[in-house]
Chain A
Amino acid sequence: MTGPGEGVQGNVWRSWQGLGGRRWIPVLVLAAALPFAIDNQPFDVSSRYLLIVAATCAAFASLALGLNVVVGYAGLLNLGYVAFFGIGAYTYAIVASVQAGRHWPPVLGLLLAGLVVAVVAVLLGLASLRLRGDYLAIVTLGFGEIVRQLMVNLDRPIDITGGLNGILGIDPIAVGGLQALGDQDYYYLLVGFCALFVFVMLRWERSRVGRAWMAIRDDELAARCMGVNVLGFRVMAFTAGAVVAGLTGVIYYSWRASVFPSSFTINDTVTVFMMVILGGMGSIPGVILGAIGITVLEEVLRPYGEYRFVIFGIALVLLMRFRPQGLLGRFSFRPRPRPGPPAEPAEEDVAAAPEATA
């Protein structure tokens, strides 16, 4: 196991780790200051464009954090992940746009979207999470496609989703009289939600809940024998990830003001997977870095159109070859590595003083 904790930089890394949750404070300060830096940037691009990219990074970082709970912690291959992003967006759009002529208070719409996503995730989870590995992947893949087909086809007989034309004129997020209007408002909103998710993840990671998820991922039978209700905790992880995606969908698409079925294909799920795998499964800074990296790379490679996926492919292959745990990850993508022969030497030389026992 080669981790970032070894070598000369080891001490610096360890003291950074030792800061615990506090090491997120400088990150948060930088994120808050970014719009000012963008306003005064010397490059030959529009500041508005840079701000949009930054806000998109925050949105995808949230998505990647949600998927990280499902794949990185609990080890569940959910190939229908963006469907929850879509369900959140559509739920909000239906109750807060010209589509149905309803304009619920945005906070209420946000809560409803979270609730709908949670209910769908629990139902799908209870039905499918008895399955493992490849089987779960197939079921969730099918689920994602069903959701997209519903978005496309639920414009008849009653027009619910607007079909291929999607839903336009989605209300902006507002709390009381405060409305989020400009890109900068949404940048802060998306970063704020992302920070909230990081906080929640950090708390889960170091608690009974996170340990149970990782135990299930590493060895399901052993986890069961230690008292872990495997189905319950799987549904919990699956739902937690879905709700994160759903809430992010609400914020992101209230910013874009329109939503279309074409945004929720398997390709989009794969993109989020790529962020999580590249960045490092199970590592919160890793998946955020992965999300930022892929989003920026997509923008940089935009002139090359679909060819950019070739570059992503090559990047993934190289990464799997040379750093299977991702840039900052602690866990490799292989579902259950067999513990190899011990690296620790035989024990006679270890000064052990076991308690004398009667």
Chain B
Amino acid sequence: MTAVLQVRGLSHSFGALTAVSGLDLDVGEGEIVSLIGPNGSGKTTTINVISGVYRPSAGRVVLDGSDLTGHAPDVVAGRGVMRTFQNIRLFPQMSVLDNVLVGAHGRLPVGPLGAVLRTPRVRRAEREAMEEAEELMGIFGERLRPRRHDPVVSLSYANRRRTEICRALMGHPRVLLLDEPAAGMNPSETLELAGQVRAIRGRGVNVLLIEHHMQMVMDISDRVVVMDHGLKIAEGRPAQVAADARVIEAYLGRRAAAAAE
């Protein structure tokens, strides 16, 4: 079975600093793959390259057999890769619902003329998008729904992250890139989120997750890829990776790795 998202030999550097170097990464059908590593190991850069924010200096990104390398972010989104942001990038002056609806931009057949005339087709498309936004907010129970018309700046960090996830899901992604979705969430919210990410996978969305909460990573990942200094240092099932000496060394230092053996 070929992977839905294939990353091959991906490299990206900022001037003299190589942030990602020769990374291979697969996300298969029905998989939750986690990308972990110490701060500055190149995880977010990897997501930025996959989503088209950065153009890679080498390597390829392939989705369902078609090449995405070097395409603009809006093209990448249209092909089925949607993302969230580590530092939360919602549209601050728009409501929760409108934020979520922007996620459907690429697939709504509504142009400037159609919007003015409100043809039956436009009406239906907008109504269906609205219903779907409601349904997606339901993934998070009653966290977002009562706040649908509130400006996003009034939301808690956790709810902002949830809104970002809904917004990305509105684009019907093949692959969802989650960049530290649990950051700023308390332990019980993080536990909730783990179940919710599984539910998202259950909807047929394949997930690439960057996360620092190890418990969550170990619980929900099918595979874990570990990066350090831009290089992939380990890959495998969560238990395998947790026992890997190089991973322990990257996180805790050489002495801790020796002690673990």
Asked if A and B are interacting partners, one says yes
B141 touching A226 by the CB < 8 A rule? no
Interface residues on A, range: 35 or more
**A219 B89 Cβ-Cβ under 8 A:** yes
In the bound complex, CA of A344 to CA of B199 (Å) = 26
Contacts of B77 in A (CB 8 A): 224-227
Closest chain A residue, CB of each to CB of B116: A203
**Among candidates A203, A215, A352, A355, residue contacting B199 with C-beta atoms closer than 8 Å:** A355
Contact present for B93 and A218 (CB under 8 Å)? yes
Asked if B59 is at the interface (CB within 8 A of a chain A CB), the reply is no
Partner of B156 from A229, A282, A330, A346 at Cβ < 8 Å: A346
Known: A211-B98, A356-B195. A346 touches B153 (CB 8 A): no
Do B91 and A337 touch (CB < 8 A)? no
Check if A353 sits within 8 Å of B142, measured CB to CB: yes
A228 close to chain B: CB less than 8 A: yes
Does B51 lie at the interface of the complex (its beta carbon under 8 Å from any beta carbon of A)?
yes
Chain B CB within 8 A of A222 CB: yes
Q: Determine if B155 and A346 form an interchain contact, defined as CB atoms under 8 angstroms apart.
A: no
**Chain B residues with Cβ under 8 A from A211's Cβ?**
94, 98, 101-102, 105
Which residue, of A199, A211, A353, has the highest number of chain B Cβ atoms within 10 A? A211
Residue of B nearest to A330 (CB): B93
Whether a CB of chain B sits under 8 angstroms from the CB of A1 is: yes
CB distance from B155 to the nearest CB of A (A): 6
A224 and B72 in contact (CB under 8 A), knowing A214-B98, A347-B143, A355-B138? Answer: yes
Of the residues B89, B101, B159, contact of A344 by C-beta under 8 Å: B159
Could you say which residues of chain A place their CB within 8 Å of the CB of B195?
354, 356-357
Among A227, A340, A358, find the residue whose CB has the most chain B CB atoms closer than 10 A.
Answer: A227
Chain A nearest CB from B165 CB (Å) reads 13
A331 within 8 A of B: yes
Query: Could you give, for residues 76-101 of chain A, a 1 whenever the CB lies within 8 Å of some chain B CB and a 0 otherwise?
Result: 00000000000000000000000000
Q: Given known contacts A207-B115, A214-B94, A347-B189, is B139 in contact with A355 (CB within 8 Å)?
A: yes
CB <8 Å contact, B142 and A351: yes
CB <8 Å contact, A344 and B156: yes
Contacts of A340 in B (CB 8 A): 153
Q: Which of A200, A225, A282, A358 contacts B51 (CB 8 A)?
A: A225
* B196 within 8 A of partner (CB): yes
- Chain B min CB distance to A132 (Å): 16
| Chain A residue at minimum C-beta to C-beta distance from B153 | A339
Instruction: Please name all residues of chain B whose beta carbon is closer than 8 Å to the beta carbon of A204 when the two chains form the complex.
Output: 112, 115-116
Residues of A within 8 A of B102 (CB): 211-212, 215, 223, 226, 228
Q: Is A50 at the interface (CB under 8 A from chain B)? A: no
Tell me the B155-181 residues at the A interface (CB within 8 Å): 155-160, 167-168, 171
Interchain nearest-CB distance for A212 vs B (Å): 6
| Min C-beta distance of A5 to chain B, whole Å | 10
Decide if A350 is an interface residue (CB 8 Å cutoff).
yes
The residue on A at minimum CB distance from B201 is: A357
Taking a contact as CB atoms closer than 8 A, the residue among A207, A227, A348 that contacts B188 in the complex is A348
Instruction: List the B residue with the shortest CB-CB distance to A340.
Output: B153
Are A339 and B88 neighbours in the complex by a CB distance under 8 Å?
yes
Confirm or deny: B151 has a beta carbon within 8 angstroms of a beta carbon on chain A. yes
A209 adjacent to B112 (CB under 8 Å): yes
Per-residue CB contact flags for chain A residues 53-72 toward chain B (1 = under 8 Å, else 0) read 00000000000000000000
* Stretch in B24-32, B78-86, B226-234, B248-256 touching the partner: B78-86
- Does the CB pair A339–B152 fall under 8 Å? yes
Provided the pairs A211-B105, A212-B102 are in contact, do residues A218 and B73 lie with their beta carbons within 8 angstroms? no
Assess whether B115 is in contact with A225, with CB atoms less than 8 Å apart. no
Nearest CB in chain A: distance from B221 CB, A: 15
Task: Report yes or no: B78 in contact with A207, Cβ–Cβ below 8 A.
Answer: no
Chain B residues whose CB sits within 8 angstroms of the CB of A214 once the complex forms: 91, 93-94, 98
Q: Is B39 an interface residue (CB 8 A)?
A: no
A240 within 8 A of B: yes
A332 to B153, CA, bound (A): 13
CB atoms of B73 and A221 under 8 A apart = yes
Which of A212, A219, A221: most chain B Cβ within 10 A? A219
Contact of B202 among A209, A219, A357 (CB under 8 A): A357
The 7 tightest CB contacts between A and B, nearest first, are: A227-B106, A207-B115, A218-B91, A227-B77, A354-B141, A357-B195, A222-B89
Given A203-B117, A218-B90, A228-B106: 17 more A-B contacts, CB < 8 Å: A204-B112, A208-B126, A211-B105, A214-B91, A214-B98, A221-B89, A225-B52, A225-B73, A225-B82, A226-B171, A227-B107, A339-B160, A344-B156, A346-B186, A347-B158, A350-B142, A355-B141
Could you give 5 example pairs across A and B, Cβ below 8 Å?
A225-B85, A227-B77, A338-B92, A340-B153, A343-B153
